[in-house]
Amino acid sequence: MRIPRVLTATMLAVGLAGISVPVSAATSTAAAAGQYVALGDSYASGTGAGDYSDTACTRSRNAYPQLWANANAPGSFTFAACGGAKIPDVLADQVEHLGSGTTLVSLSIGGNDSGFASTMLSCKYSTLSACERALDTAAEYVRDELPGELDQLYATVRDRAPGAHVVVVGYPHLYKEGGLCLGGLSSAKRTAVNKGSDLLNATIAGRAAAAGFAFADGRPAFAGHEICTSDPWISDSNVHPTAEGHEKAYLPALEAAVPAG
């Protein structure tokens, strides 16, 4: 997901080139034969997680795709996810890294397409009614347009990587609901934002299932560690998972969705 340049440069990435990272040959036969390609937006690239290997796309060495590759040593790893990406960007600049030898694909996309940046600006800096209007506009898109766009993308991924296990990674609830959140959103706004996340995740999960893809749900992965909790794994300043969130939430969620071997 993307926050506009006027808010902060480090939260947005526009470059779209994939990078291939060689790994040691001292791996198991299954791992050495594997080809992993990570696609998606800033929640996949690691915007906000620091230690960037590519600042234009905010690809972080702390992001869950890189962590999974480090731990599992696939035969090849292509980190194509880019902060700010929308579905057309993935189709134009990322799926080209898929091939008949690709064995694993992870994909996080849909937040920017549904207007994440403008919605969060409205909810953080405007009234509750303005926040709700922005969420209603996003919900209309998610219900009416996003399913067809996801179907097209998922069909392209399957066509280009016919033998791959594909894991679609969802988005977390951003905020703890109820109680006080000093310096944060009101309780009503937090509940409204999380409901918007539920609709987005339900739509993504439904289209992933229709395509025969696995779905890694970010909501239980981050449960108890949203913004406004005592130990948040999502940054209040950039509304993206921290390095700890990638390691302790997203990485286990991806691992659980990938078959052994």
Q: What is the pLDDT of residues 149-179, one digit of tens each?
A: 999 999 999 999 999 999 999 999 999 998 8
Whether 4 is in a domain gets the answer no
Q: What are the helix (H) ranges across the chain?
A: 29-33, 42-45, 64-72, 87-89, 116-125, 128-144, 146-160, 187-211, 218-222, 243-245, 251-257
The enclosing domain of 23 has a CATH number of 3.40.50.1110
Catalytic residue list:
42, 240
Considering its fold, how many domains does the chain have in total? 1
Whether 2 is in a domain gets the answer no
Whether the Cβ atoms of residue 68 and residue 255 lie closer than 8 Å to each other:
yes
pTM: 0.86
What is the domain range of residue 224?
Answer: 9-257
Whether 13 is in a domain gets the answer yes
Instruction: Please state, in angstroms and rounded to a whole number, the distance separating the CA atoms of residues 73 and 161.
Output: 20
Decide: helix, strand or coil at residue 237: coil
Whether 159 is in a domain gets the answer yes
Count of C-beta atoms within a 10 Å radius of residue 92:
12
Whether 31 is in a domain gets the answer yes
| pLDDT grade for 182, boundaries at 50, 70 and 90 | confident
Render pLDDT for 46-72 as a digit per residue (tens, 0 to 9).
999 999 999 999 999 999 999 999 999
- Percentages helix, strand, coil for the chain (3-state, rounded to 5) are 45, 15, 40
Whether 76 is in a domain gets the answer yes
Whether 65 is in a domain gets the answer yes
Element (H, E) at 106: strand 104-108
By CB atoms closer than 10 A (0-12, 13-18, 19+), residue 248 is middle
Whether 1 is in a domain gets the answer no
Looking at residue 24, its pLDDT comes to: 34
| pLDDT grade for 7, boundaries at 50, 70 and 90 | very low
